[in-house]
Amino acid sequence: MMENQKTKTIRAVIFDWAGTVVDFGCFAPIYGLVEAFQAFGVDVSLDAARRDMGLAKRDHIRKLLSLQSVEEAFRTAHGRSSTESDIDKIHEHLETGLLSRLRDFAAPIDGVVDMVDKLTSAGIQVGSTTGYTRPMMDVILPIAMEAGYRPQAVVTPSEVPTGRPAPWMCYENAKRLGIYPMDRLVKVGDTLVDIDEGRNAGMWTVGVIEGSNLLGLSQSDVMTMPQSDLILRKKHVRQQMVHRGADLVIDRIVDLPDAILSIEQALDIGGRPGEGQRELAQA
């Protein structure tokens, strides 16, 4: 698999964090957002909080406040429309709350460490992008590294002009890892914004279903839900990711090495990211 002598080979994988390599189901940021808005008298549904997951946290708050239902709830609670100052205050509350809870959601998802070891043994470097701030990553990273997940690059939105879906965090990863062109890198994530980010950067994109924000299920839910219901929910997530332009969609993060092999086979015959993604995504 992924022989080093290949001239057209994947040289790096850029992972998302919550919902991809840690925090199965992407619950920490969801609960954090809901609680932050509640602190300002505004109820936000879990579905609404999940809708734009993957954005930088301040951008996510702004996006939620742009929803008519959320803005109306804010106006009812405060007698006025929201302002940038309100976004700052909600973000400050969110960051404080997340900093106190992220420690419980920082352990790598089962199988991640062994899977990443296989990639690095094959000469593939590991980077990462996130919607979390640097102080949040300062909580998560030591715990993940202690458990064996050690990315060689960790880029947060504050270190680039803008966060997702812009490509700048991916470019910064490529710069730090010393890799180009961008079609030698794969972006892996659990949200539609992850796919947008990778496509905007000219990278191959892989969506992950189980553990994802889009599926929104805990490991216990996945294990106990009736198979017919789980299959339907996973099919819906796959369709969303393929429609968004993912080159490949995999069930579990541990399936990534096989996905990379498929991408390398496409590269060998002149394939490019975003070309024929519907066919690749069914592989």
Per-residue H/E/C for 108-167: ECCCHHHHHHHHHHCCCEEEECCCCCHHHHHHHHHHHHHCCCCCCCCCCHHHCCCCCCCC
Q: Which of 16, 59, 86, 255 is catalytic?
A: 16
Closest alpha carbon to 212 in 190, 193, 195: 190
Residue 63 DSSP SS3 = helix
Contact call for residues 189 and 208 (beta carbons, < 8 A): yes
Confidence of residue 275 (pLDDT cuts 50, 70, 90): confident
Kind of pairing between the strands at 125-128 and 185-189: unpaired
CATH architecture classification, 28-104: Orthogonal Bundle (1.10)
- Binding-site annotation: residue ranges for Mg(2+): 16, 18, 190
- Cβ density class 104-143: b for 16+ within 10 Å, e for less: ebbbbbeebbebbeebeeeebbbbbbbbbbeebbebbbeb
**Which residue ranges make up each domain of the chain?**
12-27+106-281, 28-104
pLDDT at 216: 95
CB atoms within 10 A of CB 159: 12
Nearest CA to 264 out of 210, 207, 206 is that of: 206
Two structure tokens written together for 231: 């299959």
Query: What is the rounded distance in angstroms from the CA atom of residue 251 to the CA atom of residue 211?
Result: 9
Query: Per the structure block, which two tokens stand in for 123?
Result: 């000469």
Q: Which two tokens stand for residue 135?
A: 């102080």
Same fold, 12-27+106-281 and 28-104: no
Question: Which residue ranges make up the annotated binding site?
Answer: 16, 18, 190
Q: What is the mean pLDDT of residues 236-247?
A: 97
Structure confidence by residue, pLDDT tens digits, 48-103 = 999 889 898 999 999 999 999 999 999 999 999 999 999 999 999 999 999 999 99
Residue 273 DSSP class: T
Q: Is 63 a catalytic residue?
A: no
**Tell me: the pLDDT tens digits for 103-162?**
999 999 999 999 999 999 999 999 999 999 999 999 999 999 999 999 999 999 999 999
For residues 170-198, average pLDDT: 97
Catalytic residue among 23, 57, 187, 255: 57
Mark whether 221 is an active-site residue.
no
Work out the number of other CB atoms within 10 angstroms of the CB of residue 58.
20
pLDDT of residue 280: 55
CATH superfamily entry for domain 12-27+106-281 = HAD superfamily/HAD-like (3.40.50.1000)
**Across the chain, what does the average pLDDT equal?**
93
Let me know: does 64 contact 86? Beta carbons within 8 Å: no
Tracing tokens 């796959």 back to the chain, one arrives at 238
